[in-house]
Amino acid sequence: MVLSPEECSTVADSVLALSDNWVQRAPFDFYTLGAATYLDGPWDGENYISERCSTRSLLMNNFFDLYHTIINVFQPVLGAVDFHPQLGLPGFHIFSAKPGNIMMNTTPVCAKAGGNIHQDFQYYAHNTLWSNYNKIDFDHPLSFTIPIAMPDKGSGLNIWKGLHRGKHTAQELSDLARLIPPEKINYRLGEMIWFDYNLLHQIAQQECLQGQDRRITLQGHGLRCDDVWFLYF
Protein backbone atom coordinates (compact mmCIF):
# COMPACT_ATOMS: atom_id res chain seq x y z
CA MET A 1 0.00 0.00 0.00
CA VAL A 2 1.52 3.31 -1.11
CA LEU A 3 -1.12 5.66 0.35
CA SER A 4 -3.60 5.26 3.18
CA PRO A 5 -7.29 6.02 2.52
CA GLU A 6 -6.82 9.28 4.40
CA GLU A 7 -3.84 10.24 2.24
CA CYS A 8 -5.80 9.36 -0.91
CA SER A 9 -8.62 11.63 0.26
CA THR A 10 -6.15 14.48 0.78
CA VAL A 11 -4.65 14.00 -2.70
CA ALA A 12 -8.12 13.79 -4.27
CA ASP A 13 -9.14 17.04 -2.57
CA SER A 14 -6.03 18.71 -3.99
CA VAL A 15 -6.78 17.40 -7.49
CA LEU A 16 -10.33 18.76 -7.25
CA ALA A 17 -9.05 22.10 -5.98
CA LEU A 18 -6.92 22.35 -9.15
CA SER A 19 -9.86 21.74 -11.51
CA ASP A 20 -9.17 25.00 -13.37
CA ASN A 21 -6.00 23.28 -14.61
CA TRP A 22 -7.71 20.11 -15.82
CA VAL A 23 -7.65 19.50 -19.57
CA GLN A 24 -10.76 17.90 -21.03
CA ARG A 25 -9.80 14.96 -23.24
CA ALA A 26 -13.18 13.73 -24.51
CA PRO A 27 -16.72 15.02 -25.11
CA PHE A 28 -17.68 13.64 -21.70
CA ASP A 29 -16.22 14.09 -18.22
CA PHE A 30 -12.70 12.75 -18.75
CA TYR A 31 -9.80 15.06 -17.88
CA THR A 32 -6.08 14.99 -17.23
CA LEU A 33 -3.95 17.04 -14.90
CA GLY A 34 -0.39 17.18 -16.18
CA ALA A 35 1.37 16.77 -19.53
CA ALA A 36 0.35 13.34 -20.88
CA THR A 37 2.69 11.89 -23.51
CA TYR A 38 0.03 9.88 -25.32
CA LEU A 39 -2.15 12.98 -25.68
CA ASP A 40 0.35 15.87 -25.82
CA GLY A 41 3.63 14.30 -26.99
CA PRO A 42 6.28 14.34 -28.43
CA TRP A 43 8.52 15.76 -25.74
CA ASP A 44 9.61 18.69 -27.94
CA GLY A 45 6.12 19.30 -29.38
CA GLU A 46 4.27 22.54 -28.71
CA ASN A 47 1.39 20.94 -26.79
CA TYR A 48 3.65 18.85 -24.56
CA ILE A 49 5.98 21.74 -23.77
CA SER A 50 3.02 23.98 -22.96
CA GLU A 51 1.40 21.45 -20.61
CA ARG A 52 4.72 20.47 -19.02
CA CYS A 53 5.74 24.06 -18.35
CA SER A 54 2.33 25.09 -17.05
CA THR A 55 1.84 22.14 -14.72
CA ARG A 56 5.24 20.89 -13.59
CA SER A 57 5.76 23.37 -10.74
CA LEU A 58 2.04 23.27 -9.96
CA LEU A 59 2.13 19.50 -9.49
CA MET A 60 5.36 19.49 -7.50
CA ASN A 61 4.15 22.26 -5.20
CA ASN A 62 0.84 20.51 -4.51
CA PHE A 63 1.94 16.87 -4.47
CA PHE A 64 5.53 17.00 -3.22
CA ASP A 65 4.92 14.36 -0.53
CA LEU A 66 3.23 12.06 -3.05
CA TYR A 67 6.14 12.26 -5.48
CA HIS A 68 8.62 11.70 -2.66
CA THR A 69 6.65 8.59 -1.67
CA ILE A 70 6.73 7.24 -5.24
CA ILE A 71 10.52 7.57 -5.37
CA ASN A 72 10.83 5.82 -2.00
CA VAL A 73 8.62 2.95 -3.16
CA PHE A 74 10.53 2.35 -6.40
CA GLN A 75 14.12 2.81 -5.21
CA PRO A 76 14.47 -0.46 -3.25
CA VAL A 77 13.21 -2.39 -6.28
CA LEU A 78 14.71 -0.49 -9.22
CA GLY A 79 17.74 1.32 -7.82
CA ALA A 80 18.32 4.92 -8.88
CA VAL A 81 14.99 6.62 -9.68
CA ASP A 82 14.23 10.23 -10.61
CA PHE A 83 11.69 12.35 -12.46
CA HIS A 84 13.02 13.35 -15.86
CA PRO A 85 13.72 17.11 -15.79
CA GLN A 86 12.53 17.64 -19.38
CA LEU A 87 9.34 15.59 -19.18
CA GLY A 88 6.02 16.03 -17.42
CA LEU A 89 5.68 14.70 -13.89
CA PRO A 90 3.40 11.70 -13.37
CA GLY A 91 -0.09 13.15 -13.60
CA PHE A 92 -3.73 12.33 -13.09
CA HIS A 93 -6.56 10.75 -15.03
CA ILE A 94 -9.88 12.12 -13.81
CA PHE A 95 -13.31 10.73 -14.65
CA SER A 96 -15.58 13.21 -12.89
CA ALA A 97 -17.64 16.31 -13.34
CA LYS A 98 -15.67 19.42 -12.53
CA PRO A 99 -16.54 20.76 -9.08
CA GLY A 100 -19.68 22.87 -9.37
CA ASN A 101 -20.63 21.39 -12.76
CA ILE A 102 -23.41 18.96 -13.55
CA MET A 103 -22.13 15.82 -15.25
CA MET A 104 -22.72 15.93 -18.98
CA ASN A 105 -23.21 12.15 -19.00
CA THR A 106 -24.23 10.16 -15.93
CA THR A 107 -22.30 7.20 -17.36
CA PRO A 108 -19.19 8.35 -19.29
CA VAL A 109 -18.93 6.32 -22.47
CA CYS A 110 -15.33 5.12 -22.16
CA ALA A 111 -15.76 3.98 -18.58
CA LYS A 112 -19.04 2.23 -19.33
CA ALA A 113 -17.82 0.42 -22.44
CA GLY A 114 -14.30 -0.19 -21.19
CA GLY A 115 -11.23 1.78 -22.24
CA ASN A 116 -9.24 1.20 -25.39
CA ILE A 117 -7.35 -2.08 -25.43
CA HIS A 118 -3.72 -1.05 -25.74
CA GLN A 119 -0.08 -1.33 -24.74
CA ASP A 120 1.96 1.57 -23.41
CA PHE A 121 4.40 2.70 -26.08
CA GLN A 122 4.56 6.29 -24.85
CA TYR A 123 8.33 6.26 -24.78
CA TYR A 124 8.40 6.25 -28.60
CA ALA A 125 7.26 9.89 -28.54
CA HIS A 126 10.46 10.84 -26.73
CA ASN A 127 13.02 9.05 -28.91
CA THR A 128 14.82 12.30 -29.69
CA LEU A 129 15.32 12.87 -25.99
CA TRP A 130 16.48 9.30 -25.26
CA SER A 131 19.16 9.62 -27.94
CA ASN A 132 21.07 11.85 -25.51
CA TYR A 133 21.86 8.79 -23.38
CA ASN A 134 24.43 6.07 -23.99
CA LYS A 135 22.48 3.13 -22.61
CA ILE A 136 18.67 2.91 -22.83
CA ASP A 137 16.70 -0.18 -21.78
CA PHE A 138 13.96 -0.25 -24.40
CA ASP A 139 13.13 -3.85 -23.46
CA HIS A 140 11.69 -3.09 -20.03
CA PRO A 141 9.84 0.24 -19.87
CA LEU A 142 7.27 0.33 -17.09
CA SER A 143 3.89 1.90 -16.39
CA PHE A 144 2.23 2.45 -13.02
CA THR A 145 -1.13 3.51 -11.61
CA ILE A 146 -2.20 4.53 -8.12
CA PRO A 147 -5.98 4.70 -7.51
CA ILE A 148 -6.71 7.93 -5.65
CA ALA A 149 -10.54 7.92 -5.75
CA MET A 150 -12.86 5.19 -6.96
CA PRO A 151 -16.57 4.97 -7.85
CA ASP A 152 -18.92 3.12 -5.51
CA LYS A 153 -18.97 0.10 -7.82
CA GLY A 154 -15.21 -0.20 -7.77
CA SER A 155 -12.50 0.23 -10.35
CA GLY A 156 -10.03 -2.00 -12.08
CA LEU A 157 -7.88 -3.02 -15.03
CA ASN A 158 -8.41 -5.78 -17.59
CA ILE A 159 -5.18 -7.49 -18.69
CA TRP A 160 -4.18 -10.15 -21.23
CA LYS A 161 -0.91 -11.65 -19.94
CA GLY A 162 -0.18 -13.88 -22.92
CA LEU A 163 -0.67 -11.29 -25.62
CA HIS A 164 2.12 -8.92 -26.56
CA ARG A 165 3.66 -7.27 -29.59
CA GLY A 166 6.62 -9.67 -29.69
CA LYS A 167 4.32 -12.54 -30.65
CA HIS A 168 1.55 -10.81 -32.59
CA THR A 169 0.93 -7.89 -34.88
CA ALA A 170 -1.18 -4.98 -33.62
CA GLN A 171 -4.18 -6.22 -35.61
CA GLU A 172 -3.77 -9.77 -34.31
CA LEU A 173 -3.64 -8.45 -30.76
CA SER A 174 -6.83 -6.49 -31.26
CA ASP A 175 -8.63 -9.51 -32.73
CA LEU A 176 -7.39 -11.93 -30.08
CA ALA A 177 -8.26 -9.63 -27.20
CA ARG A 178 -11.88 -9.67 -28.32
CA LEU A 179 -11.91 -13.47 -28.34
CA ILE A 180 -9.94 -14.19 -25.17
CA PRO A 181 -11.51 -13.19 -21.83
CA PRO A 182 -9.20 -10.85 -19.88
CA GLU A 183 -8.06 -11.23 -16.30
CA LYS A 184 -9.38 -8.40 -14.15
CA ILE A 185 -7.29 -6.70 -11.50
CA ASN A 186 -9.48 -4.92 -8.97
CA TYR A 187 -7.95 -1.67 -7.81
CA ARG A 188 -7.52 -1.01 -4.12
CA LEU A 189 -7.41 2.58 -2.98
CA GLY A 190 -3.80 3.74 -2.59
CA GLU A 191 -2.26 0.49 -3.87
CA MET A 192 0.15 0.88 -6.79
CA ILE A 193 -0.17 -1.36 -9.84
CA TRP A 194 2.90 -1.40 -12.06
CA PHE A 195 3.73 -3.51 -15.08
CA ASP A 196 5.85 -3.95 -18.18
CA TYR A 197 4.85 -1.82 -21.17
CA ASN A 198 4.13 -4.96 -23.22
CA LEU A 199 1.12 -5.88 -21.10
CA LEU A 200 -2.10 -5.56 -23.10
CA HIS A 201 -4.68 -3.81 -20.93
CA GLN A 202 -7.77 -1.60 -20.71
CA ILE A 203 -9.95 0.15 -18.14
CA ALA A 204 -12.34 -2.44 -16.73
CA GLN A 205 -15.79 -2.41 -18.27
CA GLN A 206 -18.21 -2.10 -15.35
CA GLU A 207 -17.02 1.31 -14.19
CA CYS A 208 -20.08 3.54 -14.55
CA LEU A 209 -19.94 6.90 -12.84
CA GLN A 210 -23.14 8.16 -11.28
CA GLY A 211 -23.83 11.46 -9.54
CA GLN A 212 -20.79 12.43 -7.47
CA ASP A 213 -18.80 9.29 -8.33
CA ARG A 214 -15.16 9.97 -9.20
CA ARG A 215 -12.39 7.88 -10.67
CA ILE A 216 -9.01 9.55 -10.09
CA THR A 217 -5.73 7.76 -10.71
CA LEU A 218 -2.12 8.88 -10.70
CA GLN A 219 -0.48 7.67 -13.91
CA GLY A 220 3.16 7.38 -14.82
CA HIS A 221 5.73 5.63 -16.99
CA GLY A 222 9.40 4.88 -16.58
CA LEU A 223 12.45 4.17 -18.75
CA ARG A 224 15.96 3.23 -17.61
CA CYS A 225 18.64 5.45 -19.13
CA ASP A 226 22.32 5.24 -18.11
CA ASP A 227 21.36 3.24 -14.98
CA VAL A 228 18.73 5.72 -13.79
CA TRP A 229 15.00 5.04 -14.02
CA PHE A 230 13.33 8.24 -15.23
CA LEU A 231 9.63 8.60 -14.43
CA TYR A 232 7.24 10.79 -16.44
CA PHE A 233 3.60 11.05 -17.61
The pTM is what? Answer: 0.87
pLDDT, tens only, 88-123: 999 999 998 888 765 544 444 444 445 677 777 788
CA torsion sign for 89, 93, 97, 99 is: negative
Instruction: Establish if 231 belongs to a structural domain.
Output: no
pLDDT of residue 175: 79
pLDDT of residue 165: 63
pLDDT of residue 154: 86
CATH number at residue 40: 2.60.120
Indicate whether 129 pLDDT > 70: yes
Q: Looking at the DSSP assignment, which residues form a beta bridge with residue 224?
A: 229
pLDDT of residue 113: 47
Measured CA angle at 161 (ends 155, 165), to 5 deg:
115
pLDDT of residue 111: 46
Instruction: Establish if 232 belongs to a structural domain.
Output: no
Q: Rounded distance, CA 214 to CA 96, Å?
A: 5
Q: Rounded distance, CA 22 to CA 15, Å?
A: 9
DSSP-derived pairing of the beta strands 228-232 and 81-83: parallel
Q: Rounded distance, CA 98 to CA 14, Å?
A: 13
Type of residue numbered 6: E
pLDDT of residue 108: 47
pLDDT, tens only, 172-191: 777 787 788 888 889 999 99
- Asked whether the beta carbons of 94 and 32 are under 8 A apart, the reply is yes
More confident position, 185 or 3? 3
- Asked whether the beta carbons of 216 and 93 are under 8 A apart, the reply is yes
Indicate whether 170 pLDDT > 80: no
Instruction: Establish if 230 belongs to a structural domain.
Output: no
pLDDT of residue 110: 44
Indicate whether 125 pLDDT > 50: yes
Q: Domain total for the chain?
A: 1
- CA-to-CA separations, 87 to 40, 104, 228, 230, 233, in angstroms, rounded: 11, 32, 15, 9, 7
pLDDT of residue 27: 80
Indicate whether 77 pLDDT > 80: yes
* 207 CB burial (10 A radius; 0-12, 13-18, 19+): buried
Instruction: Establish if 233 belongs to a structural domain.
Output: no
More confident position, 83 or 109? 83
Instruction: Establish if 160 belongs to a structural domain.
Output: yes
pLDDT, tens only, 22-75: 999 888 889 999 999 999 999 999 999 999 999 999 999 999 999 999 999 999
CA torsion sign for 39, 43, 48, 54 is: positive
Q: Average pLDDT in the 203-230 region? A: 85
- Structural domain boundaries, residue 47: 5-225
pLDDT of residue 75: 97
pLDDT, tens only, 139-155: 889 999 999 999 888 88
More confident position, 63 or 200? 63
Q: Rounded distance, CA 125 to CA 107, Å?
A: 32
